[in-house]
């Protein structure tokens, strides 16, 4: 499988299968799950990163458990639209996942996703501890929801 944009991904997926959204960070991977109609993204969990092999095994177990049809991975593009080391690292992560499982993957520009989620949590008066616990999986849901919205229009 190749890496594609969300609109192309939408045309290739089987019906009634979920997508998994990922916010890949250096220390954690936030996960979000779509519903079967691929309309709503829901924060799922946060994986504390260790080594790629262990991270990938856990991710593949989640993919199997929820019968995931494809992944939407947040791409940390710079504010000027260029791709720096974090974007390259995220692309490499996706390539490594593809090396373990043939799965459709789309990237989604995640600029400001964490900031938007943090602002929402601050407005909800969430404590610093609570924000730290949920920000990654909520950012994954924000990323996945953006892609789902584009996919519905495609």
Digits of tens for pLDDT over the chain (154 positions)? Answer: 566 788 888 888 899 999 999 999 999 999 999 999 999 999 999 999 999 999 999 999 999 999 999 999 999 888 888 888 999 999 999 999 999 999 999 999 887 666 666 666 566 666 666 555 667 898 999 999 999 999 988 7
> Residue 118 CB: number of other CB atoms within 10 A?
16
Strand, helix or coil for residue 83 = coil
Distance CA 127, CA 12 (A): 41
Q: The domain 3-77+99-153 is classified under which CATH number: 3.30.420.240, 3.40.190.10, 3.40.50.1010, 3.30.420.140?
A: 3.30.420.140
Taking the domains of the chain in order of start, what are their residue ranges?
Answer: 3-77+99-153
**124 torsion bin: left (phi>0), alpha (psi -120 to 50), beta (else):** alpha
Distance CA 36, CA 55 (A): 25
Whole-prediction pTM:
0.87
**49 torsion bin: left (phi>0), alpha (psi -120 to 50), beta (else):** beta
Q: How many CA atoms lie within 13 A of 31 on its CB side?
A: 22
């Amino acid at each position: 499988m190749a890496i594609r944009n969300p609109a192309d991904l939408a045309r290739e997926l089987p019906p009634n299968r979920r997508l998994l959204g990922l916010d890949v960070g250096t220390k954690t991977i936030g996960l979000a799950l779509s519903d079967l109609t691929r309309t709503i993204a829901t924060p799922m969990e946060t994986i504390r990163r260790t080594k790629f092999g262990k991270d990938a095994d856990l991710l593949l177990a989640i993919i199997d458990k929820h019968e995931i049809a494809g992944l939407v991975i947040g791409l940390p593009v710079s504010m000027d639209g260029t791709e720096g080391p974090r974007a390259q690292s995220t692309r490499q992560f996706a390539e490594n996942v593809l090396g373990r499982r043939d799965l459709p993957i789309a990237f989604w520009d995640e600029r400001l996703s964490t900031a938007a989620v943090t602002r929402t949590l601050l407005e909800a008066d969430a404590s610093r501890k609570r924000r730290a616990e949920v920000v990654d999986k909520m950012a994954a849901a924000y990323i996945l929801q953006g892609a789902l919205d584009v996919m519905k229009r495609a």
